[in-house]
Structure 1
Amino acid sequence: MRNEKENTNFQELAEQYEAINRMLENRLQEEIVKNKEKDLILIQQAKMAAMGEMIAGIGSQWRQPVNSLLMLIQDIRAALEYGEINGQYVDRFTRESVIQLENMSRTFSDFRKFYKPNLEKKLFSVSEAIEDALSIFSICLKNHGIQVDFMYRGQQMAYGYPNDFSQIVLSLLMNARDSFVEKDIKNRKIIIKICESDKYITAEFKDNAGGIEPFLLAKVFDPYFTSRRQGTGLGLYMSKTMLENMNGYISIENNGEGVSVSISVPKVTSAVRPELNPI
């Protein structure tokens, strides 16, 4: 009789234990979903902030072709007065106008490509993803006297979200630009180089913008933390989250003259290829 009662008590305890485990598991899953939703919102906020910067960049890149088109149009009146409008003149006007319009269209296409959402992981060239960000931001870098030295332009293939990777690169370039301007650094320079390990491709961004206070380094990936007057505190947090979604990682350290930021993404290895090319 005693054994039967003990067995009953043990079974009740086991059932209670299982019920508590199920409850805790459900709560854990709910928190995971909430955290993912929070990360998506923060990433979107960071992208919207960067989008304003990019719209300004488009305006800068369109200024030259718009001025060229304006000069071509103004020349028509003078050409008409001097009787210079003929087939050859029309051909030249058409050809030069099309060139300028194509430049404007290419800038806008680059912008749309840059912000097109990544739905699935895929193969991408790390160097090309960096070049995409540089092409978007090149005018701004030039306007602030920042020299970029991209030391290696190989075709190292990674597996992840190429647009997100370019977004991360853009965020790092913006951070460096802001540091140069706020600290009034002379001879501004960013060095970018790519290296490989067995599992990862790493892009390192090294600047001479003065660095970060050592006691702040542990906080730079926290959301809404910033050491800059006009910073949002989302750039590095967004970069970290995006890289983790690609099974990658980011690190930052002072290099003496500035900071070195390394972003690593998985290489295309034998572990990935079966997933991409199922038999």
Structure 2
Amino acid sequence: MSKKKVPKVQMTMDGLNRLLRQYQGQGVLMIDQEGEILQANTFFLDASGYSADELLGSPISQVIRITDSLQHIYARYFEANMSMEQWEEQPKAFIQARDGRILSHYYSMIEFMQGNRTVYIFLLEDQTEPLQLNLLQQFSDAFLKDVNLGVILIDLNYALIDISDMACRVLGLERSSILNQSMEKVFEAVPIQHQLVQKTILDGMVVRNHAVSWMNDQERYELLLDSNVLKDNQGQIVGAYLIFKDVTNLRSLEEMVQRSDRLAMIGQIAAGTAHEIRNPLTSIKGFLQVLRRTFEVRGMNKEQGYTEVMLTEINRINELVSEFLLLSKPKHVIYEQTDVSLVLREILPIINNEAILYKVHLQYEAAYHLPLVIADQELLKQVFLNLCKNGIEAMVDGGILTITEKLDLEERKVSIEIHDTGPGIPVFVIDKIFDPFFTTKDSGTGLGLSVCQRIIHDMGGSIRVASKGFGTTFTVSIPYS
């Protein structure tokens, strides 16, 4: 037996205004059959934080999330001629306030005709404290703002419903401009395969402790992700969430420990074999020097040239063995109170001469009255010379090498920045430059930066590198007492 349709009431503008005044203590929206907002009363605007211009002409889904489709709601209310008392549970809407808050509210609807079109009044039921967050929602709001986790909530339409402050900071997003936007639009600048959130999340694909690298303004973050779907009381999927934590520092510590272990192993090998290598080399070098002198006396210039080449190569082997020995804990190190500025000024002439050969301009920015650090002066010179030489050689067409002294009062460290204007270090290489034997030079041994890092670490300091595609900066930091 079919139900009798309720006749639609014609309403003039005067009648509409009287109706709106009647419900002025409630949130009221007028919408058309397609869900486009035609009018909103002052109460709703004040409670939600939107202006009339922002709402008029917008779809109702922009500000109100309801637990059913509009077409289904229209049918249940009007086509089936159901009254509110016949609902098993009074329907509830979730209002997306302009500042990102989610406000829950019971609602009802009125249908009428305005001219030849059907229009609906959407009423938010009056309460003692209208549109107030309940305790759980207040906790959720505080959680998203304060927790040191990245949190992303999406609905069934793959739209961003909410995001935590930490997630915005790490991902480089502005919260107000991305809420209610499709996740495809949020990450439109990122290739699909590298997007942090995949659409398969809504299919129930659960992720636990998934490691991901993310680049934001040339700064790399190491993240661990968890994700899952959200279900209602009937077990239906209503959305999904993604939570991640920043483990960049932990990963850096793990890499540092691994690198330190490799250096220690190489150092042990070097310490045990260096003398065994040097003893025969000393004998060979001595006899070659005798031969060179003999060839010189007898005028055998061709043979003399051969001996000079061999002696040069033996000296290279000796230098390599010396670098090996420095990978083990340096012997006869003298740690004493050291003026870093004085150390730099003593080697500036050497650095400047090297810079002139490569048509590089040297700039030295001093910081006066730096506190003393505990260090070995000679080893510090070796570190600064090595880093400056690397920077100069990176600028094949000339450039500027800048040495800057800085004092970090918060961390209680003296820092020396060595910046070049060369081509920079590629992202896929920068993590490997401190590894033993890794080098981009044709004649390099790949031990220079490893030795520098070992020297500074033994002094309780650190070496950091930053490269943004144009130029590279090495920062040597040593604590002061």
**1:42/1:133 Cα in 2 relative to 1: closer, same or farther (>3 Å)?**
farther
Shift of 1:266: 1.7
**Structure with greater strand percent:** 2
Instruction: Select 1:179's aligned residue among 387, 394, 399.
Output: 394
Match of 2:460 in 1: 247
Match of 1:231 in 2: 444
Trace 1:1-279 onto structure 2 (pairs within 5 A).
36-38=267-269, 119-156=333-370, 157-181=372-396, 185-186=397-398, 188-197=399-408, 198-267=411-480, 269=481
Match of 2:96 in 1: none
Q: Give the SS at the match of 2:431.
A: helix
2:273, 2:461 → 1: CA distance? 19
Letter in 2 for 1:120: I
Shift of 1:154: 2.3
Query: 2:367·2:406 contact (CA, 8 Å) conserved in 1?
Result: no
Query: Normalization by structure 2: what TM-score?
Result: 0.31
1:149, 1:250 → 2: CA distance? 21
Shift of 1:254: 0.4
Shift of 1:36: 4.8
1:170, 1:42 → 2: CA distance? 27
Q: Deviations over 1:147-169 (max 9, x none)?
A: 11111152422111111111100
Q: Which has the higher contact order (CA 8 A, sep 6+)?
A: 1
**Structure with greater helix percent:** 1
2:452, 2:272 → 1: CA distance? 14
2:416, 2:437 → 1: CA distance? 25
**1:263/1:41 Cα in 2 relative to 1: closer, same or farther (>3 Å)?**
farther
Query: 1:42·1:238 contact (CA, 8 Å) conserved in 2?
Result: no
1:42, 1:236 → 2: CA distance? 22
Larger Rg: 2
Return structure 1 stretches of 4+ with deviation > 6 angstroms. Answer: 39-43
Q: Give the SS at the match of 1:225.
A: coil
1:40, 1:168 → 2: CA distance? 21
Shift of 1:173: 1.3
CA RMSD of aligned residues (A): 2.9
Shift of 1:133: 2.4
Shift of 1:41: 8.7
How many residues align? The count is 162
Shift of 1:214: 0.7
**1:32/1:153 Cα in 2 relative to 1: closer, same or farther (>3 Å)?**
closer
Shift of 1:212: 0.8
Letter in 2 for 1:150: Y
1:206, 1:126 → 2: CA distance? 17
- Identical amino acids, percent of aligned pairs: 21
Shift of 1:199: 2.3
Q: Give the SS at the match of 1:140.
A: helix
2:273, 2:476 → 1: CA distance? 20
Letter in 1 for 2:405: I
Query: 1:203·1:264 contact (CA, 8 Å) conserved in 2?
Result: yes
Query: 1:42·1:234 contact (CA, 8 Å) conserved in 2?
Result: no
1:241, 1:120 → 2: CA distance? 15
Q: Give the SS at the match of 1:219.
A: coil
2:393, 2:449 → 1: CA distance? 14
Query: 2:425·2:469 contact (CA, 8 Å) conserved in 1?
Result: no
Query: 2:392·2:401 contact (CA, 8 Å) conserved in 1?
Result: no
Match of 1:9 in 2: none
Shift of 1:37: 3.7
Q: Deviations over 1:34-88 (max 9, x none)?
A: 6654577999xxxxxxxxxxxxxxxxxxxxxxxxxxxxxxxxxxxxxxxxxxxxx
Query: 1:200·1:264 contact (CA, 8 Å) conserved in 2?
Result: yes
**1:216/1:195 Cα in 2 relative to 1: closer, same or farther (>3 Å)?**
same
Shift of 1:33: 7.5
Q: Deviations over 1:219-272 (max 9, x none)?
A: 0000110112222211111110000111111010104421000011121x2xxx
2:369, 2:273 → 1: CA distance? 31
Gap regions ≥5 residues in structure 2: 1-261, 275-330
